[in-house]
A and B are shown apart, each in its own frame.
Chain A
């Protein structure tokens, strides 16, 4: 199984809502990542979890809150988002943080903030 799954595929939320994005992998990978991608732009790293501990936070606003409940799951909790946060949110995993050059990406959640 070389698949990373993400739910939901699409999400529309108001600026006062609270929602969560979910990501799952069953490849035994020990590093997991959240990226934000705007149209025609590269993925932009947000957070890195290594062995279920947060190892990198790229100065992401606190309205985005990551969580790694176990080695297979990664969540991104969203609260009080702004319209400019509308983007494709990608989850990825790699064998561990030292093999960061080969990442497996999920299909993403397309988020629209109204």
Chain B
């Protein structure tokens, strides 16, 4: 089977840095994606890691350690608009099948 674990809720203040962790157990792991979903909105692709290491895209970075079956999403200089749900997702050996974690609800306070 496949399973992903991430914290259900995280709270942080504007301007801070927050890290959302994701651990996974899958067969035929190819890579780890991150999606953002605002309340009432559609999921939006943020990043993808297929290899170990850090990928940076503006204020967001994503990290993967294949040996530890672990990744994280790092959000810097938090803004109120970053309040949303964040999902990690894995792709495996069945092309087209993206499996999502349960999601982390991030609340950014002033």
**What is A's interface to B at a CB cutoff of 8 Å?**
31, 33, 40-45, 48, 50, 55-56, 90, 92, 94, 97-98, 100-108
**B102 interface residue (CB < 8 Å to A):** yes
Q: Which residue of A lies closest to B4 (CB)?
A: A42
Asked whether A42 lies within 8 Å of B95 as measured between CB atoms, the reply is no
Return the contact of A101 from the options B87, B91, B101 (Cβ within 8 A): B91
**B30 interface residue (CB < 8 Å to A):** yes
Instruction: Mark contacts of B32-49 with chain A using CB atoms, 8 A cut-off: 1 yes-contact digit, 0 otherwise.
Output: 010000000111110010
Cα distance A55–B103 in the bound complex, in angstroms:
26
Residue from B30, B45, B99 having most chain A Cβ neighbours under 10 A: B45
Asked whether B95 lies within 8 Å of A100 as measured between CB atoms, the reply is yes
**What is B's interface to A at a CB cutoff of 8 Å?**
30-31, 33, 41-45, 48, 50, 87, 89, 91, 94-103, 105
Asked whether A106 lies within 8 Å of B42 as measured between CB atoms, the reply is yes
Asked whether A101 lies within 8 Å of B48 as measured between CB atoms, the reply is yes
Asked whether A31 lies within 8 Å of B89 as measured between CB atoms, the reply is no
Q: Which residue of B lies closest to A91 (CB)?
A: B42
Return the contact of A50 from the options B31, B95, B98, B101 (Cβ within 8 A): B95
Residues of B within 8 A of A55 (CB): 95-96
> Would you mind naming 12 contact pairs between A and B with Cβ atoms under 8 Å apart?
A33-B96, A40-B103, A40-B105, A43-B100, A48-B97, A55-B95, A90-B42, A97-B96, A101-B30, A101-B31, A101-B33, A101-B98
Asked whether B41 lies within 8 Å of A45 as measured between CB atoms, the reply is no
**A42-B100, A56-B97 are known contacts. Are A100 and B91 too (CB-CB below 8 A)?**
yes
**A69: shortest Cβ distance to chain B, in Å?**
19
Cα distance A103–B20 in the bound complex, in angstroms:
21
Cα distance A107–B76 in the bound complex, in angstroms:
27
Cα distance A46–B49 in the bound complex, in angstroms:
24
Asked whether A97 lies within 8 Å of B95 as measured between CB atoms, the reply is yes
Residue from A97, A104, A105 having most chain B Cβ neighbours under 10 A: A105
Q: Which residue of A lies closest to B99 (CB)?
A: A45
Asked whether A107 lies within 8 Å of B45 as measured between CB atoms, the reply is no
Residues of A within 8 A of B89 (CB): 101
Cα distance A50–B100 in the bound complex, in angstroms:
20
